[in-house]
Amino acid sequence: MRISDIKKDWARNKSVYFLALPLIIYFVIFNYLPIGGILLAFEHYDARGGTVGSAWIGISNFVNFFSTYYFGRLIKNTLIMSVYSMIINFPAPIILALLLNEMENRAFKKTIQTMSYMPYFVSTVVICGIIQDFVGTTGLISQALVKMGVYHKPTDMLGLRDFWTFRTIFVISNAWQSTGYGSIIFLAVLSSVDQELYEAAKIDGAGRWKQTLHVTIPGIQTMIMMMLIMQVSSLLNVSMDKIILLYRPTTYEVADVIMSFVYRSGIMQGEYGYSTAVNIFNSVVSMVLLITANAASRKFSEFSLF
């Protein structure tokens, strides 16, 4: 493009560029400038020297992380939490959207939608406080489990170190909080499915179940694949804030994940270079998972994000 063409384009779209300027500044300040912080992973960071003046130690932070006891535990806990969450939380919004789509009573449908959306807008801190009240020693759920014979005495369920308790509480509370809001995107796609396909299915003798299998689900298949790819790419990015608010030293063995370890080692212990290295490892693996999931989707379903 010639200089004269650039000047003409600037003169013609000057107002548009000015409108875009705040967004560009935002991305430069908060998305591009922080990229320089990657250098911390290769340094023994010292606040007096800053990013530029700190001692350069190469890949020692990465080697230290890979050789510690925490590496295996964090990978194991993160993958278990992620896969467990995917099994429960990925199909839940789809199922809810399909059920809402079949409802003919509009008032009842709106009521269910509102009730399912509400938990998403409640602060995570409040949600965690509710969870602690319900599963604590004097909590309703703990007392009910004692009555049912599951526990011999009232128990603080968040303090148990067994394989399932903390993880089940975490996953189910996530499902309760996010299923309604997650169904919005599928309801939007369902509204765009061609209604003539349903009429044709009815003529061929298909009932509601057959229509769902052969018309509705294929109509939202592209969106399902898109969301699945995004879910796979975020396997190592388990919700850090809720885990930090719910776990405790007695449950680190089963509850500590990569992002909570990054928070604890970086913010609480001041090991900025080490925690940056761990976070970079997490980001690289997430990128590999995204590319792999996208390639697999392109091969088997002829759909891909890029």
* DSSP 8-state symbol, 159: G
77, 163 contact by CB (below 8 A): no
Q: What are the tokens at 28?
A: 């430069």
pLDDT at 67 over 90: yes
Say yes or no to pLDDT of 171 above 70.
yes
Q: Which range among 101-105, 123-127, 146-150 has the greatest average pLDDT? A: 123-127
Residue 32, pLDDT > 80, answer yes
**Is pLDDT above 70 for 51?**
yes
- Residue identified by tokens 């939202």 is 220
| Span 293-305, average pLDDT | 84
The pLDDT of 123-135, averaged and rounded, is 93
Cα distances from 10 to residues 1, 13, 26, 258, in angstroms, run 13, 5, 21, 47
- Confidence band of 261 (pLDDT split at 50, 70, 90): very high
pLDDT band with cut points at 50, 70 and 90 for residue 1: low
* pLDDT of 37: 85
Q: What is the mean pLDDT of the chain?
A: 89
CA atoms lying within 13 Å on the CB side of residue 147: 7
* Amino acid letter, 52: V
Alpha carbons 286 and 6: distance in angstroms, whole number = 39
Please say if the pLDDT value at position 6 is more than 80. no
Helices (H), the chain: 3-12, 14-27, 50-53, 60-67, 69-89, 91-102, 106-117, 124-135, 140-147, 165-190, 195-203, 208-211, 217-219, 221-233, 240-246, 252-255, 258-263, 272-301
3-class SS of residue 305: coil
Q: Give the CA distances from residue 156 to residues 122, 245, 287, in Å, rounded to whole numbers and listed in that order.
A: 24, 15, 38
Taking alpha carbons only, the member of 290, 235, 227 closest to residue 258 is 235
Q: Residue 249's pLDDT is what?
A: 85
How far is it, in rounded angstroms, from Cα 230 to Cα 60?
32
Phi, psi for 44 (deg, rounded to 5): -95, 90
What are the structural domains, with CATH classification, of the chain? 48-301 (1.10.3720.10)
Question: pLDDT at position 298, please?
Answer: 87
- pLDDT per residue over 180-229, tens digit each? 999 999 999 998 888 888 888 888 888 888 888 889 998 898 899 999 99
Measured between alpha carbons, how far is 204 from 161 in angstroms, rounded to an integer?
55
Per-position b or e across 188-220, b if 16+ CB within 10 A of its CB: ebbeebeeeebeebeeeebeeeebbeebbeebb
Instruction: Report which of residues 300 and 184 the model is more confident about.
Output: 184
Structure confidence at residue 44 (pLDDT): 87
pLDDT digits (tens, 9 = 90+) for 237-246: 887 889 999 9
